[in-house]
Copies of this chain bind each other. A is one copy, B any other.
Amino acid sequence: MHIDTMETTALVRAEADLEQRYAALQAEGLDLDLTRGKPAGDQLVLSAALDGSLDGDYRTENGTDTRGYGGSDGIAEARRLGAAWLELAPEELLIGGNSSLTLMYLYLLGAHRFGLDGPRSAWADGPAAARFLCPVPGYDRHFSICEDLGIEMIPVPMTGEGPDMDRVEALVSGDPGVRGMWCVPRYSNPTGETYSADTVRRIAALGRIAAPGFRVMWDNAYAVHRLGGETPAPENVMTHCRAAGTEDSVVQFASTSKVTFAGAGISFFGGSRRNVDWFRARLSVMTIGPDKVNQLRHVRLLPDMDAVHSHMERHAGLLRPKFDCVRRRLEEGLGNRGIGRWTDPGGGYFVSFWSRPGLAKETVRLASEAGVRLTPAGAAFPYGEDPEDSHIRLAPSFPPLAEVDRAMEVFVTCVELAAVRSIRRSRET
């Protein structure tokens, strides 16, 4: 029954019932965690062949000994794999260490403090304070990078087909301080949506209306992370950039963190030749080169995209029951009751949940006090501030299925309890 149509007596009864259920859950002393998008142990086993896969053969196809220094571009095989992954040419790729986040940080650091086109082009030294568009809800670690660098963040709402492009275009063309934008084009963290063809085309064209040195940080973290269903891949942004003459305006990132070993994968940077040359020169000041042995391990396990896709099918087989469980718990507990809405993602690592306005923090607090840790409410917004206090990110990948189920039972109870309490109180006044 829809909560707003419930009689007050029924509401009071429901509240008492929920308080009891909540107390009973609290008494169990649970310790469950839905905070981060981490592959579970059974997923890590899928890449067991990584270690030892080299079998004493450390040479690349062109004879490079991967154990030595150097090779700032990455080995040819890994560049080819990254190129297929991001739909670019191998020369448009650089291969990094275990963290694409590090590549993003260093790229933005370089643009902001050192200049994409000589020291006088540094965003930090421009006439206006540097600002970045941040589609929300978004990825907290993207926002932390901006905060650290002193780049002001402007939230832009997501629409279900990517960011609100009318708003994006107005901001980009009207404000020379806007230097770039975060994007997670496929199975976006945390809403799970994939950018539509129109969104991709319009993003590729931003370079024509933006200030010089404008950059889209295209974090394709979930490029191959399909869970099932029929979500088509987003269009190739670089194809649109070439058509618009904006090749330098989009730089791309991806990694194998949620493909092989979360903390021991390889990362990809992709962009125009000019961006690649610039970034290689930046990186060469701070490293003699990335870990090429680990690159070779990765291409031995995953030589091409066919191998990647069938590998990811096995991941999906392990993840799907957990996402199904989340959906079932939400539908059964909260469906059609006006207590919240949520996403049903075709891929990625998250379910987004929106409580009634003003109840996200309270819901997260209730869950925490019943032993279920959730990502802090507001984390998916710049500066941790969700103006509606409504969004909660659920990350069901890591715990075993039974724990996901238990945690979702608690979550649903907390959502309902917070909502019922709030409505009942509002009727008192």
A100-119 CB mask vs B (1 if < 8 Å, else 0) is: 01100110010001100000
Residues of chain B with a CB closer than 8 A to A44's CB: 58, 65, 67-68
Question: Which of A156-164, A188-196, A246-254, A282-290 has 4 or more CB atoms under 8 Å from chain B?
Answer: A282-290
Q: Are B144 and A70 in contact, CB atoms less than 8 angstroms apart? A: no
Q: Are B52 and A98 in contact, CB atoms less than 8 angstroms apart? A: no
Tell me the chain A residues, 258-312 only, with Cβ under 8 Å from chain B: 261-264, 285-294, 297
Q: Are B99 and A287 in contact, CB atoms less than 8 angstroms apart? A: yes
Interface status of A29 (Cβ within 8 A of chain B): no
Could you say which of B69, B102, B294 contacts A287, with CB atoms under 8 Å apart? Answer: B102
* Chain A interface, DSSP helix/strand/loop, else mixed: loop
Residues of chain B with a CB closer than 8 A to A56's CB: 48, 51
Tell me the chain A residues, 32-75 only, with Cβ under 8 Å from chain B: 36, 38-39, 41, 44, 47-48, 51-52, 54-56, 58, 65-71
Could you say which of B38, B47, B291 contacts A69, with CB atoms under 8 Å apart? Answer: B38
Number of copies of this kind of chain in the complex: 2
Interface status of A145 (Cβ within 8 A of chain B): yes
Interface status of A148 (Cβ within 8 A of chain B): yes
Q: A38-B68, A102-B287, A285-B148 are in contact. Are A51 and B293 (CB under 8 A)?
A: yes
Which residue among A41, A69, A297 has the maximum number of chain B CB atoms within 10 Å of its CB? Answer: A69
A42 to chain B, nearest CB (A): 12
Which residue among A52, A145, A264, A292 has the maximum number of chain B CB atoms within 10 Å of its CB? Answer: A264
Q: A264-B291, A293-B261 are in contact. Are A286 and B68 (CB under 8 A)?
A: no
Residues of chain B with a CB closer than 8 A to A67's CB: 44, 47, 261-264
Interface status of A173 (Cβ within 8 A of chain B): no
Q: A69-B262, A262-B68 are in contact. Are A287 and B54 (CB under 8 A)?
A: no
Tell me the chain A residues, 403-426 only, with Cβ under 8 Å from chain B: none
A197 to chain B, nearest CB (A): 32
Residues of chain B with a CB closer than 8 A to A144's CB: 285
Alpha-carbon separation in the docked complex, A41 to B63 (Å): 13
Alpha-carbon separation in the docked complex, A297 to B38 (Å): 22
Could you say which of B113, B286, B288 contacts A145, with CB atoms under 8 Å apart? Answer: B286
Alpha-carbon separation in the docked complex, A97 to B287 (Å): 10
Interface status of A257 (Cβ within 8 A of chain B): yes
CB nearest to A265 among chain B residues: B291
CB nearest to A97 among chain B residues: B97
A393 to chain B, nearest CB (A): 16
Not counting A47-B67, A67-B261, A102-B287, a sample of 8 additional A-B residue pairs whose C-beta atoms are within 8 angstroms of each other reads A44-B65, A68-B263, A70-B263, A98-B290, A109-B109, A141-B288, A144-B285, A264-B292
Closest 5 CB pairs of A and B: A52-B52, A105-B286, A264-B293, A67-B261, A99-B287
